[in-house]
Structure 1
Amino acid sequence: MTAILGLNAFHADSAACLVIDGKLVGAVAEERLGKRLKHTSEFPANAVRWLLADNGLKLSDVDYVALPRDTRANRGAKAAYIAANPVRGLRAAMEHLRRSSTTQSMIEKLAEICGEDPATVKFETVPVEHHIAHVASSYYCSPFDGLTAGFSYDASGDFASAMAVRCEGPRMEVLDRVTLPDSLGFFYTALCQYIGFDSFGEEYKVMGLAPYGEDKYADVMQKLVVLPEDGFFRLGKGYFGMHEGGASGEMTEDGHLVMGRLYTDRIVAELGPATRRGEITQREMDIAKSVQIRFEQASMHSLQRMHRLVPSEQLVMAGGCALNGVANARILRDTPFTTPYLQAAASDDGTCLGAAMWTWHNVVGSQERFHMKHAFWGPQYSDEEMRRVATSAGLHVVECADEAEVVERVARHIADGLVLGWYQGRSEWGPRALGNRSILANPAIKTMKETINAKIKRRESFRPFAPSVLQEDVGEYFEQDIYSPFMMHVTKLKPQYREALPAITHVDGTGRLQSVDPDSNALYYKLISKVKQHTGYGVVLNTSFNENEPVVDTPQQALDCFLRTDMDALCLGRYLLVKSGAN
Structure 2
Amino acid sequence: MKRTPCVVGINLGHDGGAALITDTLMVAISEERLNRTRYSPGWEASLLYCLRAAGLTLDDVDLVAVSGIGRTLPTRTESGLTHLGIDPSRIVPVDHHLSHAYTAYCLSPYETATVLVVDGGGNNNDTETYYAATPDRIERLGGNPTTRARAGEIGATYEAFTNYLGWYEQEAGKTMALASYGDPSLYLAPLFDVVDTQVHGRLTHTHAPGVADLARRTGFDFGPPDSRGEHELGTNAAAYVQDQTERALCALAEQTIAATGLGNLCFAGGVALNCVAADKLRRLDAVTDYFAPPASSDRGQALGCALYAFHRLTGNLPQRLLASDYFGRDYTDEEIEQALRRDPRSGLVERRRTAFTWRRESDIARTAAQMLADGKIIGWFQGGSELGARALGARSILADPRTTASSDALNQRIKHRELFRPFAPAVLADHAGTWFDLDVPSPFMLLAPPVRPDHANKIAGVVHVDGTARVQTVAPPSRPRTAR
Q: Same fold (TM over 0.5)?
A: yes
Q: Share of identical aligned residues, percent?
A: 29
Alpha-carbon spacing, 1:122–1:343, altered in 2? closer, same or farther (3 Å): same
1:204 aligns with 2:173: yes
Give the counterpart letter for 2:198 in structure 1: F
Tell me the equivalent position of 2:466: 508
Q: CA RMSD in A?
A: 2.3
State the distance in 2 between where 1:313 and 1:29 align: 32
1:38 aligns with 2:2: no
The 8 Å contact of residues 153 and 162 in structure 1, kept in 2 or not, is answered as yes
Tell me the equivalent position of 1:252: none
> Secondary structure in 2 aligned to 1:226?
strand
The 8 Å contact of residues 143 and 197 in structure 2, kept in 1 or not, is answered as no
The alignment's TM-score, normalised by the length of structure 2, stands at: 0.89
Tell me the equivalent position of 1:195: 165
Q: Residues 214-253 of structure 1: matches in 2 within 5 Å?
A: 214-220=183-189, 222=190, 224-228=191-195, 230-236=196-202, 239-242=203-206
Tell me the equivalent position of 1:110: 81
Alpha-carbon spacing, 1:454–1:264, altered in 2? closer, same or farther (3 Å): closer
State the distance in 2 between where 1:428 and 1:262 align: 36
1:170 aligns with 2:136: yes
The number of equivalent residue pairs is 458
Tell me the equivalent position of 2:274: 324
Stretches of structure 2 lacking an aligned partner (at least 5 in a row) = 343-353
State the distance in 2 between where 1:55 and 1:111 align: 22
Give the counterpart letter for 2:39 in structure 1: H
State the distance in 1 between where 2:106 and 2:467 align: 35
Tell me the equivalent position of 2:346: none
Give the counterpart letter for 2:118 in structure 1: Y
Tell me the equivalent position of 1:2: 5
The alignment's TM-score, normalised by the length of structure 1, stands at: 0.74
The 8 Å contact of residues 435 and 521 in structure 1, kept in 2 or not, is answered as no
Alpha-carbon spacing, 1:279–1:473, altered in 2? closer, same or farther (3 Å): closer
Q: Residues 390-405 of structure 1: matches in 2 within 5 Å?
A: 390=340, 397-401=358-362, 405=363
Q: Residues 260-299 of structure 1: matches in 2 within 5 Å?
A: 261=208, 263=210, 265-269=212-216, 270=218, 271-272=220-221, 274-276=224-226, 278=228, 280-299=230-249
> Secondary structure in 2 aligned to 1:157?
coil
User: Per-residue deviation at 1:110?
Assistant: 2.7
Tell me the equivalent position of 1:18: 20
Tell me the equivalent position of 1:410: 368
Alpha-carbon spacing, 1:191–1:55, altered in 2? closer, same or farther (3 Å): same
User: Per-residue deviation at 1:351?
Assistant: 1.7
1:445 aligns with 2:403: yes
Stretches of structure 1 lacking an aligned partner (at least 5 in a row) = 71-94, 243-259, 523-583
User: Per-residue deviation at 1:407?
Assistant: 1.2
1:354 aligns with 2:304: yes
The 8 Å contact of residues 4 and 65 in structure 1, kept in 2 or not, is answered as yes
CA offsets per residue over residues 329-354 of structure 1, 9 Å max, x none? 11232232132111120001212211
CA offsets per residue over residues 485-509 of structure 1, 9 Å max, x none? 1111011100011111000000111
Segment of structure 1 superposing worse, 408-417 or 319-328: 408-417
State the distance in 2 between where 1:285 and 1:49 align: 44
Tell me the equivalent position of 2:350: none
Tell me the equivalent position of 1:529: none
Alpha-carbon spacing, 1:367–1:214, altered in 2? closer, same or farther (3 Å): closer
CA offsets per residue over residues 375-424 of structure 1, 9 Å max, x none? 111143220232344467876644123xxx11111111112211111111
Segment of structure 1 superposing worse, 261-270 or 417-426: 261-270
The 8 Å contact of residues 140 and 369 in structure 1, kept in 2 or not, is answered as yes
User: Which structure carries more strand by proportion?
Assistant: 1
